[in-house]
Structure 1
């Protein structure tokens, strides 16, 4: 999708002004703020200086992005990852013609197991992960429009998407309340939102034992509390609120429907 086709659904996420294309390499709002488009990916982080935990984990994912898919292939020798992800994605609503957004899309492996009759959009804070996602989509012959940005400031107009989901990452967002409110804002009325992340037990058993990444996962009480389904952060007027555990308690799933 070229930027002229994209522009009508986009906003500057920091001031909510409309965007218009400037050639094929930039989007611009009425205040003159410019968003570069790099190899077809609008880079909204050009307008934000990332800090806090968001910066910490951006560095982690940029660092591991060259090895992410190698790890996926190694694990696939022991576990059917497509089957596993299909179970995770079971409650993500996808119908023909739907606009489906994944925040923290990573290298695109969740999109791989979803039906190809919808329009897919993915946002991630890690440029390294997005570069790998581009290669994966070409390899799998799948189509997705990618964006580099902060999930706490989504660059989309209100009521844009028919389905919104997130897998992994929200536990350690700087502002989980804002991230959830943003998912709700860009979803159409009646949209099902699905949020999946790892539980404290799984983080303890897995990531805190891996030398390269264990420093990113502390042992503090704050981290333990964040690795719980953030039910209290969902606005009280949302419908069909449900929490369940996946994969023998290694993951939680929080889902609800917008009004």
Structure 2
């Protein structure tokens, strides 16, 4: 299990954290939780600040939070089984090829899941991961210890990131944004917490992949309907990128099963 966040480490973390719902700064309490100046408490559970304690999750976010919590115990088993037939390590390395990381960079992955993308990235950066699923975060914590990797985890909503403006040198996302409540807000938040000139990379499944794969799996197919709204969401959300962003590009990965949207902040 990831080491429990020591009280002496929390003050270091508060220099980069805010209450994402009112943008107030945070301080450590006597019970080693986090608190804003209005008295809102963010509990720290096994080293993971839980910002969802301040939010009632609803809509699509609630629907897919339940899915990810439900499948989290089986996620890594599935990863290993699929690896017998597909070189997932190679695939993830290819997906991460456009994620710009330099020594000393602060790197954020939203919807970090169980942390497998971090495993293929260089160890010379500082990694931070946020997810809406407590089940996924628990497994990510175990994986970090197993792989001897370091990453600070947060439970939260990617549409309300708990970080100060311009905190990260690199922000990326793999899987899940298709069915966020508010994709435009999530992208705006990635931009807000990224430093000027940072590259942002967003990867998710295409509609074709969802039709061919997820809608055939008994355990999860009920979460992926065939409605027009779902079809329209499973495309690169290039229209949601602010017009002043630079180097905006879209490409397909892995024979069209995934899309990648990337751009550079200004």
Residues 159 and 185 in structure 1, CA contact (< 8 A), matched pair in contact too: yes
For the pair 1:62 / 2:69, whether they are aligned, the reply is yes
Query: Secondary structure in 2 aligned to 1:135?
Result: helix
Distance 2:208 2:70 in 1: 24
Q: Tell me what 1:80 maps to.
A: 87
Shift of 1:23: 3.0
The runs of at least 4 aligned residues of structure 1 exceeding 3 Å deviation read none
Larger mean Cα displacement after TM superposition, 81-90 or 18-27? 18-27
Residues 24 and 37 in structure 1, CA contact (< 8 A), matched pair in contact too: no
Out of 194, 209, 212, which is 1:187 matched to?
Answer: 194
For the pair 1:116 / 2:123, whether they are aligned, the reply is yes
Provide closer, same or farther for how the CA distance between residues 189 and 24 of structure 1 changes in structure 2, counting only shifts above 3 A.
farther
Q: Tell me what 1:208 maps to.
A: 215
Query: Secondary structure in 1 aligned to 2:60?
Result: helix
Shift of 1:3: 1.3
Distance 1:135 1:182 in 2: 28
Out of 100, 103, 114, which is 1:107 matched to?
Answer: 114
Shift of 1:220: 0.4
Alignment of 1:214-253 (within 5 A): 214-253=221-260
Query: Secondary structure in 2 aligned to 1:9?
Result: coil
Query: Secondary structure in 2 aligned to 1:17?
Result: coil
Q: Tell me what 2:172 maps to.
A: 165
For the pair 1:22 / 2:23, whether they are aligned, the reply is no
Shift of 1:212: 1.0
Distance 2:236 2:166 in 1: 25
Query: Secondary structure in 2 aligned to 1:248?
Result: coil
Aligned residues: 259
Shift of 1:154: 0.0
* Structure 1 unmatched runs, 5+: none
Out of 38, 47, 53, which is 1:46 matched to?
Answer: 53
Distance 1:116 1:246 in 2: 25
Residues 3 and 24 in structure 1, CA contact (< 8 A), matched pair in contact too: no
For the pair 1:141 / 2:148, whether they are aligned, the reply is yes
Shift of 1:187: 0.2
Shift of 1:25: 3.0
For the pair 1:127 / 2:134, whether they are aligned, the reply is yes
RMSD after superposition: 0.7
Distance 2:10 2:30 in 1: 9
Distance 2:68 2:31 in 1: 28
